[in-house]
């Protein structure tokens, strides 16, 4: 059994303990069990602490419940019976207690305002997530809850931990029930929240600094909220503010005008994109006329346009093919070299003969790729650019018999 010092003082980062067991894992790695520890093990949605144990690096801590806490170390393990000094990485501990306390405040805010229970909590490297039973979520509802949580933070209320029996817990108004047996550890935010929890938390709400929502969505029947607290919230603000200043500078406007400038540019871009598409279709029709005039014609047979282009993208290639087969008795066998890919599109007008799907499969085998489609139109490609001309010529020969 390991005495868990973090239960009593989440700010404790230096301690001494006796090694009671060692289990070598692989070369350079081992697990160490101590009689007491300030290292928090992974659990309850919160990652473990890291730090040092003697001269070894603690990279992970594993909770084995009644058996105690395993410290996974990289380095030479101390001998059983040795008294070692442990040091918990404070920046990581501070980050975790800010996120975890922030979660308690957010969860209670949603419970108080909307009776929305928290069903999941995950603390990740950059952000944390809460899954809520919040029906009909809106940005206005979420902003109200976050405002309440921040108001409690700025009131700098005490955050305390205490242990109670199952019977004592049954007489208290807890935010959530616990299935744990034996003594129950409760975390209380004065006058606001009371809930069972084994994690590390701030001494006062002011230590959290700020909570902020980065995004929210509906997921698996829940409302999933992505948030940051404390130092993470400050770092997120600095990043977002820098991006906003950069955007504003590019438009030569103030921060408050940047959003309107972006919206105006997007609308202008939509108009220009529509105009460009219209011009590209006109250009494709003109180019199709030129290609048809150059194509050899035989009486009673379809005109076959077999060409390979450089740098023409997939949309441009398809646009040209459609412009060609808008003419009767026409087959388009087109290829394009774009970056490191060979693209192909084969198409025919309704009156023309030929199975474009079959021709495409054989051409794709030559360019070491794949493709397919319908008898009247097929697309594909591969990475053997040097075989692209051969693939188009092969399709033309099979179609014309030349």
pTM of structure: 0.76
Q: What is the pLDDT of residue 395?
A: 93
Is residue 324 within 8 Å of 291, Cβ to Cβ?
A: yes
Among residues 61, 69, 72, 56, which one has the least CA distance to residue 24? 72
Joined tokens for residue 221: 């029947």
In what side-by-side order are the strands of the sheet with 369-373? 303-310, 330-338, 341-348, 377-382, 369-373
Give residue-wise pLDDT tens across range 64-82. Answer: 988 889 999 998 889 999 9
Joined tokens for residue 147: 């405002």
What is the C-alpha separation between 193 and 324, in angstroms, rounded? 71
Joined tokens for residue 354: 């030929």
Q: What is the pLDDT of residue 377?
A: 96
Give residue-wise pLDDT tens across range 367-401. Answer: 999 999 999 999 999 999 999 999 999 999 998 87
Spatial neighbors of 372 by CB under 8 A, at least 6 apart, are 357, 360, 361, 378, 379, 380
Q: Looking at residues 348-363, what average pLDDT do you find?
A: 94
What is the C-alpha separation between 184 and 269, in angstroms, rounded? 60
Give residue-wise pLDDT tens across range 272-296. Answer: 999 999 999 999 999 999 999 988 8
Go through the domains of the chain in sequence order and give each one's CATH number: 3-88 (2.40.30.130), 93-239 (3.30.980.10), 284-400 (3.10.310.40)
């Amino acid at each position: 059994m390991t005495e868990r010092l973090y239960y009593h003082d989440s700010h404790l980062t230096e301690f001494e303990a006796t090694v009671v067991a060692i289990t070598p894992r692989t070369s350079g790695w081992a697990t160490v069990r101590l009689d007491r520890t300030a290292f928090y093990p992974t659990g309850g949605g919160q990652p473990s602490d890291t730090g040092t144990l003697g001269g070894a690096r603690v990279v992970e801590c594993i909770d084995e419940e009644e058996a105690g806490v395993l410290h996974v170390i990289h380095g030479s393990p101390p001998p059983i019976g040795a008294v070692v000094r442990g040091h918990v990485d404070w920046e990581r501990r501070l980050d975790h207690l800010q996120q975890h306390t922030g979660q308690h405040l957010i969860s209670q805010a949603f419970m108080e305002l909307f009776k929305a229970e928290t069903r999941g909590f995950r603390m990740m490297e950059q952000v944390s997530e809460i899954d809520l039973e919040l029906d009909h979520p809106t940005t206005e509802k979420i902003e109200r809850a976050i405002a309440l949580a921040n108001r409690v933070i700025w009131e700098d209320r005490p955050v305390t931990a205490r242990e109670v029996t199952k019977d004592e817990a049954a007489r208290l108004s807890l935010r959530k029930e616990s299935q744990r047996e034996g003594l129950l550890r409760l975390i209380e935010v004065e006058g606001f929240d009371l809930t069972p929890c084994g994690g590390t938390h701030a001494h006062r709400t002011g230590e959290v600094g700020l909570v902020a929502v980065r995004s929210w969505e509906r997921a698996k029947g829940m409302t999933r909220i992505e948030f940051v607290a404390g130092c993470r919230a400050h770092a997120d603000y600095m990043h977002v503010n820098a991006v906003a200043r950069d955007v504003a500078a590019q438009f030569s406007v103030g921060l408050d005008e940047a959003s309107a400038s972006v919206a105006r540019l997007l609308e202008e871009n939509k108009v220009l994109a529509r105009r460009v598409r219209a011009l590209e279709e006109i250009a494709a029709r003109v180019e199709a006329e030129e290609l048809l005039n150059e194509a050899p014609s035989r009486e009673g047979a379809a005109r076959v346009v077999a060409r390979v282009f450089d740098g023409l993208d997939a949309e441009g290639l398809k646009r040209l093919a459609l412009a060609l087969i808008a003419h009767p008795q026409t087959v388009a066998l087109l290829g394009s070299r774009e970056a490191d890919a060979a693209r192909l599109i084969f198409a025919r007008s309704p009156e023309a003969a030929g199975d474009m799907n079959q021709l495409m499969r054989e051409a794709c085998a030559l360019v070491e790729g794949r493709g397919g489609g319908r008898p009247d139109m097929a697309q594909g490609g591969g990475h053997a650019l040097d075989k692209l001309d051969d693939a188009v010529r092969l399709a033309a020969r099979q179609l014309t018999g030349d």
